[in-house]
Each structure stands twice: as structure tokens, then as C-alpha cells.
Amino acid sequence: MMIHAITLWEPYAHLLAWPGEKEYETRSWAPRNLVLPIKVAIHAGKNTQVLDEIATYLDEMNAKGAPVTQYPSAFMRHFAHAARRHDALTPDGELRMDAFPLGCVIAVGDLVECTSMTNDFIARRTDKERAFGAWSVGRFAWRFANVKMLAQPVPVRGAQNLWMWDWDGKVA
């Protein structure tokens, strides 16, 4: 069955796919001509820039012996906890790059709401949610629900904006 898909840089694709880590994907644009809710595939793009930056940061913090609770970056504090919960860090606190398959659809979920951000809306999000997105007035918060990881990542070429993907209907 054909469903919509969105390509996200890692680790944002996995943060959305991992249960309890990220509910909203933030965008500068709203989906057009769609009646929500809709099924959406979560595609992990091939860009490693953010993962490389995270790996470097974690290596520096580990070399200093800094506990996660003392990381100056809210994103890094929350990410390190999430990555540990989902086995994406080694016992020594290094990022496991193999935990982030690139160029693959990794999950499917329901896009249930798209909200134009206001100061009040942003203020009601958790610190963790705000750390995992680009939150500013006028941008859009896409709320996902029922996100399920696929049993196996499916290699496929991604695209910008929403695109169509032929899903076999299987999840983990």
C-alpha cells in the first residue's frame, strides 16, 4: 500500500521512532492537502553530520569524565539518556553508529496533528521535546502517534518534503 514518507537526518529519525523519546517533528512548513491522521513512514536519511557531531561531543565529555547530568547541552543530555535506553551507546558511552541505519525506512507511525507554533504552545512542551526540535513561533509541530519500528530497516532512496513509499504493512 502506498503511504506518505518523510526523510529525517539521524538521530532525529530514531528519536521519533524510539518509544517515549520524541513526539513532535518540527518543520518550517505544514503538509498540504492532507486530511489527518495519515500513516507516515519515517526514513533515516544518509547525512551523518549530526551523528558525527554527537560522536565527537560524547568522546570529549567521556575524556573529561563528565557525567551526562553535567553536559552543558540539553540536547546532548537528553540524547545520551535516550541512546543508552535504546542500546545506541557502548558501555563506555561511545555512540554506536551501527545503531543508526542510514538510507532506510525504519518506522511507520500516524501523523495526527500539525500545529502552527505559538509561544504558549512551545512553553507547554517538555524540556526533552524542545531539545529534540527547532521550536520557534511560526514553525510547525507535527505530532506523531503509534510509531512502530520496522522489524528490519528497508533501504530506499529518500526525498525532501513528503514523498510516497510502497509499504508492505509489516512492523516489528
How far does Cα 9 stand from its chain's mean position?
Answer: 8
106: closest CA among 147, 143, 144? 147
Residue 84's CB is within 10 A of a number of other CB atoms, namely 14
pLDDT digits (tens, 9 = 90+) for 20-44: 999 999 999 999 888 999 999 999 9
Predicted confidence at residue 142, as pLDDT, reads 98
d(CA 62, CA 137): 35
Average pLDDT value over all residues in the chain: 95
Q: Identify the H or E element spanning 26.
A: strand 24-27
> Quick one: 89 exposed, middle or buried, by C-beta within 10 A (0-12, 13-18, 19+)?
buried
- Domains parsed from the chain with CATH numbers: 1-153 (2.30.130.30)
Question: Structure pTM?
Answer: 0.95
Look up residue 89 and give its three cell numbers: 551507546
pLDDT 10s digits, 148-165: 999 999 999 999 999 999
**pLDDT (0 to 100) of residue 70:** 87
